[in-house]
Structure 1
């Protein structure tokens, strides 16, 4: 029989009262729960007499499987002893009862309750559950649109609703109000009595006094926040005094700080008696002393800086009272509160009307959603009728115990149901969870329910027993120690909602890890360093060796590369993972590793880097279903079947493998009809081509594809009218072979799973009350418009692969090696910045738009709700960090990005002076990321002494046994081999390993010749691999500038110069986004582009004067097409001069014959560019934009303006002749038989340069 700890055994054996179990990470919670159920069975209770509530359906399934396994284990043991046949029979009976046992989510239990007692509430028993959110969202949207129209059209409510819409929406649409209504509705639905909760929302806006400071709301809700801010200021001032005294700083400084402390205490004591305006004036006039911060002694200077930082913190706390709370005078705030009270009442009215209409529509359709299940179950259990009371009594009598797993993640509505199902005396509720792992606030979970019981059962044992499972049987000791080190300094009740005291500390539980077990806990920091100076010029082309090390442009790429290298180093080690099953160390497997990401933003980068390094990877729950190529093609085809007159979908389908046209063929079709929509051009080509006399192979090939496509489209459109959507989708798969085609692509199984999932989702969609292709396509488009997506379908994936998952997705899992990624990512505090903040206790806090001044004001409830929501947000972010860290079994890596370690450690050093174990509330609440929290907790540890600078920690952690190391990387080092993880002085390279394994001496001559032939093989078209098949004219023109560097080199030279064409024709760096650019003088390229724009936009119907040019420039600046600094640099005189030239005069004389900024695509044989006859079978697609050409009776005049400053206009020929020749070639293709006269025009020199062939 397994040996349980004393606390585990107490949980298994406890009876006679409610029991709350606080089960820390890795404490064996599920095992203990299973054993408690078995103890109940041993006591004569049948398994169907227990109500076991799990958080997910998967958890319920696993629990049933584990119970069945435990029952079979006991049966086997009894049968071996050949005794107790009655016991065996009973245990087998329990296995039979598992199928009907109430082991499920609360939603599933409520559904069974409704199906059994529907008559209590007069519910039609014929209903369907909306298991897919899609139909529910469509019904919501339809109902809200109807309600909104009714409210707009109502004579009495219309003006009020219009004002409400204006308050929460912008002048483009009223989506803002729609979002608020839906959020408020969902919030209300998570409470036991939604209408009652809604009805009390406006109470906070109706002050009990015409003096704000005398009102109950101010005294009970706002005043405590002001006291907290002043208390923080006093604490910071005391810390500054202590630093000044300990370091013998100037006595005047100490005197000034002592006086400041006295003034703050006086203000703190007066807070409750000061009226609103007096307090505002007092805060505005409050003085802070100026202190000396530089001393001859470096240690004193460092201390003075720390002292000043504390004074600055005190100043921020005091000033924040006015900037956060007392933002306007009392009279204005009273007006704001009155107006916002009316606004909240109008909002509540809209929500309640939507709630009633939504319920009525669901009744009409005979459907229920998951939100209805708990409310209807509660209604059944609370109905005051004979049948209602009978239902409640029967349910209570059925269950000997109500057992709740993951109790920290329930809400008040669910708590109400569970309380009704359980007994009061003696209590029979068993609740297990860990409030430190409550991370589902976005699902409206309420961890305060757990906390209140945790505190109540500790203070009042008669209400229930409380047992803490603190032993972590999952992790090595150093992971436990690091967890305790971090959270003993971060987590307390005021900031983290729970005190991380001795009872909450993780205790090392495993007995099987060897004493020599490595204790790896590392912080991996990628340093971005200083940005490259703007005048440093382009980087040199990379050598092949340098390219293998990867160029790092994005900080996220840098940190991911560090992680990838660490994984490769682990793979190279000899048996680094301890197998607890065999008791031996074993080789590393990629599946040992999990990357826990805060968001999915960098998943594509992770996939890209890991694939390049050939590290197998599986990304769990990637929300990019509609972005996959195969689904985008299918959705485009469905859109075309619904309405083919849509250019983007039709071109998508034609270009896809379903039809198979290339870009030139698409252009060929477009030429057939340049003015209509694209589908009409396709039809015109199809109708007219057979009658043409000049058929050719090219046109025949296009016609064959179009003919087949139009036949299929006609069939599909007819099928869509007469059949279900799923029939249409499957016929598409059969007729086009698309499902089979994607199976042959990379990740083919996943792609096929995605297409099959589209069929399944269409089937679920049509099971609802919505029908038809149009509705389905429209719904998917709306989802994408709102940035909503679905997870990719689950396909067979490689089990031997690194797992990437969100922290939420990792809950309940464990891995030998864990990387907590992107810890430097700033917290997403958008939920604390919306125009309507919501909280179950605080209510709703809105910003108020003054209808006359059109100025938005924060309201008192908004200020208070913001603090409440912000506090809960920070607490949940701490809990997410706790969950992430405690997933690790043996090795833990905390990964982040910094600019430099010097700057980062300087920021962390500010916490060295804090004298208590738990860091200051201000430091913790102003942290912007997990890395900020990590740095401030680790900086005081002895292992971080190298980063202390000249200061010593005021609170010593010398006795802490945690071992932590910091590993730094940057763009210069992460491409190099990582030797920090090797278990010997040198590891053989991959080449050396192969050389040792395949020695020539061990092979016969024939095998050696075959190997040499394979190794010496040269790909005959290798020159095609070092350039792209798509070139811009600006790139191809370099071929003409440098005859020694052709577009494609011959096979004899490709090996020696393989890197050069890549660097020349492929851009290694994307443009820096505008928001990252620093202000600087406009470049020549920017000025040239702007000049070309003006030349394109100038009206040609009148003479071009200076006034006309400046007016055109001004209009482009006003439209924000040009910036003012670039516009100033445009040479107006040179533009006017161009139109005064002979060519300019010709252009103005025939404005309708002028074509400006003409884009083109041209397919050319490569040998016409490279001069290599071997390239005649290959083609390159060239894309460019001509500045313009003029149609004349004598032919075409092609012109290209240049803003280059050259000594002689003829110098332009050397640089641009090749470019304009390509333009001329394109023009000749467009206008066969026409002569093309070519000119370059130098704007600075105001000279025209003819270009001859």
Structure 2
């Protein structure tokens, strides 16, 4: 029986008002939410009288399964089991779609409406905006032409891109007609402008106040004369309260610091810096000029609104005509319906005893507006503002904060804090509390951590399984080896530290066995703020013989198979249109060199040199195809004509290849539905390749014994015994807010104005100021999410700068996670451990170990995208390289998939530390014994090479190389069959390559994994 804390009991049982539950990391949020549902059921409230909203299908599915398990164990609740599958446990998107379909007749839309792919609707939107611009040009609209003339450089592209960004934000507004009036009238009202000026003055006065604080530090410093001169010089500025007064008094007489006063240099420098910052704000002569600037900018706002209004009219008509909508349209439609139909609103409102919202901190403005329309003082909101990290998905943490603060003061709702952490050791909790009590507050971070959010130790099992080495560690290295990057240094430090811990028998707590056990690779996780260094870690960990699994989403469009499909479609269109231009040569070369044709470079060169490319089989095959206008039919025809699926096997990773191809085929079907043709899909694929849009396949966690590497966003919701944090010196990727035209909920349209020269409104500076504060707040919350993933140990690897002068008063200047640590390092001194890089065996040898598969794919992409200057003929691709001539059926596919899987197992296994409980133990143990592999041998797995002989270049990947003092063994392992002459030929090429770089005799082996059979190749 679960022993609930008093706060948890309150969160489970309290009813009668709106309730907000602030559930910190590891506080048992999901368990509490599930138990509250069960409590309602026991009080004779049926499951179909609860509306449970989440943000992902996975979360909704998990909640449904948890409830099902609980109900199944209690016979008194069995009636609810029959209702569970149809109960409203769902995402916001799915629930709104359900309501729109239910009441479609009132909205005058088809019940069978479809949700359109984001990439496809983006193409539609781009075309519509182009049409709108063309219409304004044709009409010679004067306001529009002034906008273009005053703010375009070469063309109207920049203005278009800025308007697209504005539209993305306006998409989130339910009442656009009201907004249009605000953007052209309300926000230009003098009262509004005066409020902006007041806000602008407040920023300046805060900076002046900081100057005053610094001057006060000089009092009693022993430099009385200097102090008195500073007071006299700055008094007029310190007494200034308006923009005009500050402008008048900003020129400060020079006050020189006395000789020998190095101890107050920092103070004087800080004052000078603040003075420069203030001057940068004083670009207007006076307040009158600020007021005039808004008058001059108003016509630009009217012109942009005119464009946007017509854009939405056309887009909405397109969506209506084609019954195609985005989820954001669905939310707006249901809000419109509920506002205009009081009877429907009451019907929905009275359908539920309670509305329960999980991860409430991620709610958007539209979702909150929807909830407000159907709530009946019966909303139960669970979340944690400290984990609100999805601003880029339109999450608004202020929604949570405003309710939390309001319910804390007033009796209109109930605030409950779940502070006990049942995940982490007390030392981990202490370290996290220390950091965030200092850096997170109401203004920056969005929560008064010290007052309301400090975690309490909850998992008392750790008391009986105490491990002495659980304190937070900040491994501080001297950044003095210039021949290594920070990424390399930190990867080696972490890798060597993991190996050291395992060698020393480091122990972690096993929550299932409820006792300590020896740590394994899978107990370690590395959490970085971005994935740009993942490939470096992959290569270094491979060199150190540490299995590493990178958990990340995969951009499918950047893969070779999709690039080949795109280029094949492009080549087909060029052939059919008799267009033999540069693009034709590019497409021809790409396909000729690809895995579909494998044409020698010399042949390609001769085809173009002699202008005989029309004689090629490739050209003839495309020429003989009929003209096909259906995108789906065309791609399918090309795949079949070029035996795509059979040849796809040569790329390896078959499952993901098929997923990617299936995505493209599904997209091509959608193209037909929305009236786009084969040229459009070619343009679309080109846009995808250029990363303008993205299609991703979600990454999946594996159960293989390997260290995990991921970014912070991927780590949310996960937990690991030992977590390393690295790469935190990198500057935050701040979204570009330098666009000339911007939209902000508070300030409306922010446009430049033209008055003999270009100028910016003060709202641009206000928007920038607020944006940086919001961004830093989210970064602090990201840091909290990262550190709270750790159960037993936090290890931050970084290089602190002794000269860094950042303090807690500089929180609004944070530009990296390292800045956060730097600003509080004096408070963290007991956690900082100085380390010497010489102890971590840094070496560049890892670069020669082998290229990682990720790097290979990256290189190959570059080759494909270059002109005809291509030099190597790839004859041997990953793992499966003999020619397959039969069409790939399910049985063959399953066998190939299993073979690929077993190859991965062998690739990631360290061969010596595998547990007997591991289901692959026998396969690996047999292999090690048969090959007589010892711990002294050097092992190179999946070793990629490029080797040239007699003018030919060979490119392949060797499964395993075992190097001892006297010889080299080259092993090519297969799942089953090893009787094939092509395998022997491959091994001979491998041998030639290795003999060219190693002065040792080589032995060649083919090994059947399932048969445990070894064949020596003479």
Tell me, yes or no, if structure 1 residue 713 matches structure 2 residue 622. Answer: yes
- Alignment correspondent of 2:812: 925
Tell me, yes or no, if structure 1 residue 442 matches structure 2 residue 392. Answer: yes
Measured against aligned partners, the alpha-carbon deviations of 1:1052-1080 in whole angstroms (never above 9, x if no partner) come to: xxx99x9xxxxxxxxxxxxxxxxxxxxxx
Looking at structure 2, the residues matched to 624 and 350 of structure 1 have their Cα atoms a distance apart, in angstroms, of 34
Looking at structure 2, the residues matched to 647 and 240 of structure 1 have their Cα atoms a distance apart, in angstroms, of 73
- Alignment correspondent of 1:104: 90
- Alignment correspondent of 2:118: 133
Looking at structure 2, the residues matched to 174 and 744 of structure 1 have their Cα atoms a distance apart, in angstroms, of 46
1:256, CA displacement in angstroms?
Answer: 4.2
Measured against aligned partners, the alpha-carbon deviations of 1:16-47 in whole angstroms (never above 9, x if no partner) come to: 11101111111111111111111111111111
- Alignment correspondent of 1:401: 354
Tell me, yes or no, if structure 1 residue 491 matches structure 2 residue 440. Answer: yes
Looking at structure 1, the residues matched to 49 and 183 of structure 2 have their Cα atoms a distance apart, in angstroms, of 41
1:808, CA displacement in angstroms?
Answer: 1.9
1:197, CA displacement in angstroms?
Answer: 2.9
Distance 1:1030 1:37, change over 3 A: farther
**Does the CA contact (< 8 Å) of 2:21 and 2:415 recur in 1?**
yes
Measured against aligned partners, the alpha-carbon deviations of 1:474-529 in whole angstroms (never above 9, x if no partner) come to: 12222222222222221222333332223211212111112335314333456543
- Alignment correspondent of 1:459: 409
Distance 1:638 1:526, change over 3 A: farther
| Aligned 1:364-403 pairs, distance under 5 A | 364-383=321-340, 388-403=341-356
Measured against aligned partners, the alpha-carbon deviations of 1:143-189 in whole angstroms (never above 9, x if no partner) come to: 1111111122224x2x3223334555531x42322222222222223
Looking at structure 2, the residues matched to 346 and 894 of structure 1 have their Cα atoms a distance apart, in angstroms, of 51
| Aligned 1:1158-1197 pairs, distance under 5 A | none
1:936, CA displacement in angstroms?
Answer: 1.5
> 1:503 aligned to 440, 452, 466, which one?
452
| Aligned 1:665-684 pairs, distance under 5 A | 665-673=603-611, 681-683=612-614
- Alignment correspondent of 2:769: 867
Distance 1:1011 1:407, change over 3 A: closer
- Alignment correspondent of 1:170: 153
Looking at structure 2, the residues matched to 1014 and 465 of structure 1 have their Cα atoms a distance apart, in angstroms, of 62
- Alignment correspondent of 1:848: 753
Distance 1:846 1:574, change over 3 A: same
1:1009, CA displacement in angstroms?
Answer: 13
Tell me, yes or no, if structure 1 residue 512 matches structure 2 residue 450. Answer: no
Distance 1:809 1:457, change over 3 A: same
> 1:934 aligned to 809, 812, 821, which one?
821
**Does the CA contact (< 8 Å) of 1:592 and 1:802 recur in 2?**
yes
Looking at structure 1, the residues matched to 912 and 132 of structure 2 have their Cα atoms a distance apart, in angstroms, of 74
**Does the CA contact (< 8 Å) of 2:629 and 2:677 recur in 1?**
no
**Does the CA contact (< 8 Å) of 2:496 and 2:840 recur in 1?**
no
Distance 1:454 1:762, change over 3 A: same
Looking at structure 1, the residues matched to 676 and 775 of structure 2 have their Cα atoms a distance apart, in angstroms, of 41
1:430, CA displacement in angstroms?
Answer: 0.6
- Alignment correspondent of 1:1114: none
> 1:969 aligned to 826, 837, 844, which one?
837
- Alignment correspondent of 1:1142: none
Distance 1:311 1:891, change over 3 A: same
**Does the CA contact (< 8 Å) of 2:386 and 2:445 recur in 1?**
no
- Alignment correspondent of 2:419: 470
- Alignment correspondent of 1:892: 794
Looking at structure 2, the residues matched to 435 and 749 of structure 1 have their Cα atoms a distance apart, in angstroms, of 39
Tell me, yes or no, if structure 1 residue 27 matches structure 2 residue 27. Answer: yes
Measured against aligned partners, the alpha-carbon deviations of 1:584-614 in whole angstroms (never above 9, x if no partner) come to: 2334333333333323322333333334444
**Does the CA contact (< 8 Å) of 2:524 and 2:721 recur in 1?**
yes
- Alignment correspondent of 1:833: 738
Measured against aligned partners, the alpha-carbon deviations of 1:968-1018 in whole angstroms (never above 9, x if no partner) come to: 5379843499xxxxxxxxxxxx99999xxxxxxxxxxxx99996999999x
- Alignment correspondent of 1:418: 371
Tell me, yes or no, if structure 1 residue 779 matches structure 2 residue 765. Answer: no
Looking at structure 1, the residues matched to 840 and 428 of structure 2 have their Cα atoms a distance apart, in angstroms, of 31
Measured against aligned partners, the alpha-carbon deviations of 1:223-261 in whole angstroms (never above 9, x if no partner) come to: 2222222122223333454xxx4xx5434344445556x
**Does the CA contact (< 8 Å) of 1:750 and 1:793 recur in 2?**
no
- Alignment correspondent of 2:183: 201
TM-score by length of 1: 0.65
> 2:664 aligned to 758, 771, 786, which one?
758
Tell me, yes or no, if structure 1 residue 281 matches structure 2 residue 168. Answer: no
> 1:569 aligned to 497, 500, 504, which one?
500
| Aligned 1:908-1057 pairs, distance under 5 A | 908=805, 911=807, 919-920=808-809, 923-943=810-830, 963-967=831-835, 969=837, 973-975=841-843
**Does the CA contact (< 8 Å) of 1:845 and 1:866 recur in 2?**
no
Q: Once superposed, what is the RMSD of the aligned Cα atoms?
A: 3.7
- Alignment correspondent of 1:589: 520
Tell me, yes or no, if structure 1 residue 63 matches structure 2 residue 78. Answer: no
- Determine helix, strand or coil for the equivalent of 1:270: coil
1:392, CA displacement in angstroms?
Answer: 1.1
- Alignment correspondent of 1:12: 12
1:4, CA displacement in angstroms?
Answer: 0.7
Looking at structure 1, the residues matched to 289 and 950 of structure 2 have their Cα atoms a distance apart, in angstroms, of 64
**Does the CA contact (< 8 Å) of 1:21 and 1:469 recur in 2?**
yes
- Alignment correspondent of 1:353: 310
Distance 1:577 1:57, change over 3 A: same
- Alignment correspondent of 2:586: 648
1:111, CA displacement in angstroms?
Answer: 0.8
Runs of 5+ consecutive residues of structure 2 not aligned to the other structure: 846-909, 915-927, 953-964, 969-991, 997-1018
> 1:217 aligned to 162, 170, 195, which one?
195
Distance 1:382 1:311, change over 3 A: same
| Aligned 1:524-543 pairs, distance under 5 A | 524-525=475-476, 527-529=478-480
**Does the CA contact (< 8 Å) of 2:349 and 2:375 recur in 1?**
yes
**Does the CA contact (< 8 Å) of 1:655 and 1:662 recur in 2?**
yes
| Aligned 1:214-363 pairs, distance under 5 A | 216-241=194-219, 245=220, 249-256=222-229, 259=232, 263-264=234-235, 267-272=237-242, 276=244, 278-283=245-250, 285-287=251-253, 289-292=255-258, 294=260, 301=262, 304=263, 307-328=264-285, 333-363=290-320
User: Which of 1 and 2 has greater Rg?
Assistant: 1
Measured against aligned partners, the alpha-carbon deviations of 1:260-289 in whole angstroms (never above 9, x if no partner) come to: 6xx45x5344313xx63x532311x12463
1:393, CA displacement in angstroms?
Answer: 1.3
**Does the CA contact (< 8 Å) of 2:166 and 2:742 recur in 1?**
no
Distance 1:884 1:195, change over 3 A: farther
Looking at structure 2, the residues matched to 976 and 113 of structure 1 have their Cα atoms a distance apart, in angstroms, of 60
Measured against aligned partners, the alpha-carbon deviations of 1:1148-1181 in whole angstroms (never above 9, x if no partner) come to: xxxxxxxxxxxxxxxxxx9xxx9xxxxxxxxxxx
Looking at structure 1, the residues matched to 719 and 729 of structure 2 have their Cα atoms a distance apart, in angstroms, of 23
Runs of 5+ consecutive residues of structure 1 not aligned to the other structure: 76-86, 296-300, 532-551, 674-680, 687-705, 912-918, 944-962, 978-989, 995-1006, 1033-1054, 1059-1165, 1171-1253
1:655, CA displacement in angstroms?
Answer: 0.9
Looking at structure 2, the residues matched to 656 and 16 of structure 1 have their Cα atoms a distance apart, in angstroms, of 67
| Aligned 1:421-432 pairs, distance under 5 A | 421-423=374-376, 427-432=377-382
- Alignment correspondent of 2:1009: none
Looking at structure 1, the residues matched to 14 and 931 of structure 2 have their Cα atoms a distance apart, in angstroms, of 74
1:139, CA displacement in angstroms?
Answer: 1.6
- Determine helix, strand or coil for the equivalent of 1:501: helix
